[in-house]
Amino acid sequence: MHFPEMIKYLKVRREMLQVTQEMLAELAGVSLRTLKQFESGRGNPTLQTLSKLADALGLELTFKVKTLSVNK
């Protein structure tokens, strides 16, 4: 999952939960400015920031072993 996908995923998740950026920022304990930057693709959040956001959205960061598929 690369950058743009992660952003999209979190954004969709937020909207699905009907939470505004303002609410999420507050819930997550992240500044609104930072969240806005992140969602608009202008960011490289720290793991802590990303975790806080994921957490507030009921998500968890995990690793997945990449599989080597021949045909993409």
Partner DNA sequence: CACAAAAGAGCAGTAAAATGCACTTTAATA
Partner DNA sequence: TATTAAAGTGCATTTTACTGCTCTTTTGTG
Binding site for a second copy (CB under 8 A): 1-3, 6, 9-10, 13, 44-48, 50-51, 54, 58-66
Residues 6+ apart with CB under 8 A from 34: 25, 43, 45, 49
Please identify which residue in 3, 15, 17, 61 interacts with DNA, judged by CB under 7 A: 15
Rg (CA), the chain: 13
Nearer to DNA, 18 or 67 (CB): 18
**CA 36 to CA 10: how far, in whole Å?**
12
Using CB under 7 A, which residues numbered 39 to 58 contact DNA? 39-40, 42-46, 48-49
